[in-house]
Amino acid sequence: MTSGLRRAASTVVLVVVSFLITALILRVSGYSVGDVLSGIIQGAITATGASTSSIRWAIPLLLIALGVVIGFRAGFFNIGGQGQFYMGACSALAISLGWREGPAGLVILCGTLAAMLAGVLWSLFPGWLRVRFGTDEVLTTLMMSFIGALVLQYLTAGPMRNPQGTGQTAASERIPEAFRLTGGSGVSLTVLLLVAGVTVLVWLVLERTRFGLTMTLVGRNATMARWQGINVRRVGLGAFALSGALAGLAGAVELYGPAARLVTGFSPEVGFTAVVVALVGLLNVWGTVVAAIFFGGLQAAILFLPIVTDLPPPALVLLHGMVAFLVTIKFRAVRRRRAAQAEAQAG
């Protein structure tokens, strides 16, 4: 417990340091940190609709990050959440546009299931390569992510392009209003309940089922798990599948919620940010919830900022990068203890 607290404290310190460094960069390049900060607070909390907007951005982050947490639990880096998210959204869109006359509830259900299935397929392929051939999943999930982005680009520019569209970026047709779970704000009771239910479910699976414990064992030490008779491959595939299903689900929620149509390259950073969210959340379900709300607030704020300052939006990417760069740093005491253990084992 105390070690958990220490980890939480060190993570908070590192996140604060990342913010300070980024603030310094902003300061040096001529922006007023005070203005930006008050803009962030307005955009994330106090301005009208700001907190709703924060939740709206937190939802996809949370769902994808939970997938990342599951992957990490079983010892895998699924950093391809972006592509799984896109494929989920595309599948849900295809079902919804293809069956416009269908009963709303059924279409949404089918669309959501299709989205999760697409996410599963998109993550299971690298997962299968990993457990079957030992192919490194960091790169393959990343590549699948790039491919997913191109598939989205192809669909929105080609087969699913809105013929009446006039905008510069390619976009699909809108789904019928009846299929939407929320208004443009992206938050409604249905969606909140759904996300809360999924979060609790993920927690139960991870902490209160045999499968969850098995994943933990495999993730900590797959060799030992094999010696204990655990089917490591099956557990790994299960973890990849769950992870992808959550990212796919995030895509469906995005479509049926705030988006209503898909635009080429929408939410381009959400996959990577979700990895940061999971890490800042200490790879723990409730920690991830907190981190997702925090980073959702930042995302909402960065969209609000142009109203009060002329800060270029990529500053947020820089900030996320800074957090990722620093957040896994281990403080001296931890490192010394680990070194001592390694030493004690060797000698």
Partner 1 sequence: MEQILATTLRSAAPLVLVAMAGVFAFRAGIFHLGLEGLMIAGAFATVAVGDTTGSVELGVLAAIGVCLLLSALYWWVIGPLGANVIIAGLGLTSIGLGGTAYALGAIFDVRGSLFTDVVLPRPVTGSTSGAGVIISEHSIFVWITPVIVLAAWVVLRRSRFGLRLAAVGEYPFAARSAGVNPSMVRLQALLIGGALCALGGAELSVGALRNFTENMTNGRGFIAFVAVIFGAWHPIGAAFAGLFFGFADAIGIQSQINITERVPREFVLMIPFVLTIFAVWLGGLWRRRSLEAEAGYAELREPDF
Partner 2 sequence: MTAPSGPAPAGAPAVRCRSLGVSFGAVRALHGVSLELAPGRIHALVGQNGAGKTTLAKVLGGLQVPDTGDVHIAGKEIPPGDVSAAKAAGLAMVHQHFSLPPSFTVAEALELTAARPGGRAVYRRGDLQQRWRDDVAEIGGTAALSTRIRDLPVEARQSLEIVRALATEASVLLLDEPTALLTPVATDALFERLRHLRDSGVTVLVVLHKLREVAAVADTVSVLRDGELVLGPAEMSEVSQGRLSDAIVGPADHADDEVGVRAIAHDQETLLELAGVSSGESAFEPGLSGVDLRVEAGEIVGVAGVEGNGQRSLVSVIAGLSPLSEGSIHIDGDEMTAAAPARRRMRGLRLVPFDRNTEGVSQSAPLWLNQSALRLIGREGLETLYPPRRGWVHSVHSPGSSDRGPRQMARLLNDWWQRRSPLISLRQYKWQATQAMDRWRVRYDNVTQPAESLSGGNIQRLILSRELDSGLEALVAAQPTRGLDFAATEFVRRSLRGLRDAGAGVLLISSDLDELFELSDRLLVMYGGQIVARFDGPYDRRAVGDAMTGAVR
Q: Quick one: residue 3, left, alpha or beta (phi over 0 = left, psi -120 to 50 = alpha)?
A: alpha
Q: 71 is written with which tokens?
A: 């992957």
d(CA 337, CA 165): 60
Q: Is 101 in contact with 292 (CB distance < 8 Å)? A: no
Considering only 135, 169, 190, 209, the residue that binds partner 1 (CB under 8 A) is 135
Which one of residues 93, 198, 274, 279 is an interface residue with partner 1 (CB under 8 A)? 279
Please report whether residue 347 would count as binding partner 2 according to CB under 8 A.
yes
Q: Which two tokens stand for residue 175?
A: 């789904």
Tokens of 54: 């924060």
Stretch that binds partner 1, among 161-169, 240-248, 296-304, 309-317 (CB under 8 A): 309-317
Q: Under rule CB under 8 A, how many of the chain's residues touch partner 2?
A: 30
Site string for partner 1, 21-60 (x = CB under 8 A): ----x---xxx-----------------------------
Nearby residues of 250 by Cβ (< 8 Å), 6 or more positions away: 59, 60, 63, 64, 81, 85, 88, 270
Q: Cα–Cα distance between 302 and 269 in angstroms, integer?
A: 13
CA 285 to CA 201: how far, in whole Å?
10
Considering the rule CB under 8 A, would residue 200 count as an interface residue with partner 2? no
* Among positions 221, 314, 325, 330, the unique one binding partner 2 when judged by CB under 8 A: 221
DSSP 8-state code for residue 259: I
Q: Which stretch binds partner 2 (CB under 8 A): 43-51, 111-119, 221-229, 317-325?
A: 221-229
**Nearest one of 227, 231, 195 to 210, comparing CA atoms:** 231
- Cβ proximity to partner 2, 43 vs 236, nearer residue: 236
Tokens describing residue 108? 């949404």
Stretch of residues binding partner 1 (CB under 8 A), selected from 202-210, 226-234, 292-300, 313-321: 313-321
Minimum distance, C-beta of residue 325 to partner 1, in the bound complex (Å): 3
Q: Judge contact between 319 and 301, C-beta under 8 A.
A: no
Given the rule CB under 8 A, which residues bind partner 2? 204, 207-210, 213-214, 216-217, 220-221, 223-231, 336-337, 339-341, 343-347
Given the rule CB under 8 A, which residues bind partner 1? 25, 29-31, 77, 79, 126, 129, 133-136, 138-140, 142-144, 146-147, 150-151, 153-154, 157-158, 272, 275, 279, 311-312, 314-330, 334-335, 338, 342, 346
